[in-house]
């Protein structure tokens, strides 16, 4: 493992700290998902970056989620989200696709060339507004 940021620099807030039991304070390691791949998520901790294999027993996770790792560096549980961006999943199935969690600030940027689309900006604003204060059920 390499040196990493402090938990505060990763976005750790009292909101997340309050979700830990007294026993967990001594036995688990908070980690934030910083990359997501099909079968692996990369997490940042106060001591470094780790890779976790995605298992069926895990809840749906996305970049920005906070998880707790046990003493062996394995997934223990996910913490409740403060906010969550999601969209309708592509295809014909009725499902949602998680985009990001626990985002404090979102910037919507687009080019003013011939591809400019006011409806697209409106969709992005709608997603950002819906994502405020919704947890998306990480538990």
In this model, does residue 51 exceed pLDDT 50? yes
Per-residue pLDDT at 130 exceeds 90: no
Say how far apart CA 108 and CA 80 lie, in whole Å: 25
pTM (global) more than 0.85:
no
- Among the residue ranges 3-17, 55-69, 75-89, 124-138, the one predicted with the least confidence is 124-138
- Long-range contacts made by residues 21-27, C-beta under 8 angstroms, separation at least 24? 24/68, 27/70, 27/71
What is the domain partition of the chain in residue ranges?
7-78, 84-131
Per-residue confidence (pLDDT) for residue 133, from 0 to 100: 62
**CATH assignment of 7-78?**
2.30.30.140
d(CA 95, CA 68): 26
Written as six digits, the tokens of 59 are 């809840």
Q: What is the Cα–Cα distance from 76 to 67, expressed in whole angstroms?
A: 7
Residue 111 has pLDDT above 50, yes or no: yes
Q: What confidence tens digit (pLDDT) does each residue in 31-50 have? A: 999 999 999 999 999 989 99
Q: Which residues on adjacent β-strands are paired with residue 101? A: 84
């Amino acid at each position: 493992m390499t040196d990493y940021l402090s938990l505060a620099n990763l976005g750790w807030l009292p909101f997340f700290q309050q979700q830990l039991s007294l026993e967990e304070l001594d036995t688990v390691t908070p980690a934030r998902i910083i990359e997501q791949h099909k079968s692996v998520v990369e997490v940042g901790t106060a001591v470094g970056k780790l890779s976790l294999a995605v298992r069926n027993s895990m809840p749906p996770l996305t970049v920005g989620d906070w998880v707790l790792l046990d003493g062996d560096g394995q997934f223990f549980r996910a913490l409740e989200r403060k906010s969550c961006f999601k969209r309708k999943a592509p295809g014909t199935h009725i499902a949602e696709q998680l985009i990001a969690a626990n985002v404090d600030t979102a910037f919507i940027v687009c080019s003013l060339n011939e591809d400019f689309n006011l409806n697209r900006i409106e969709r992005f604003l709608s997603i950002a507004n819906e994502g405020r204060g919704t947890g998306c059920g990480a538990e």
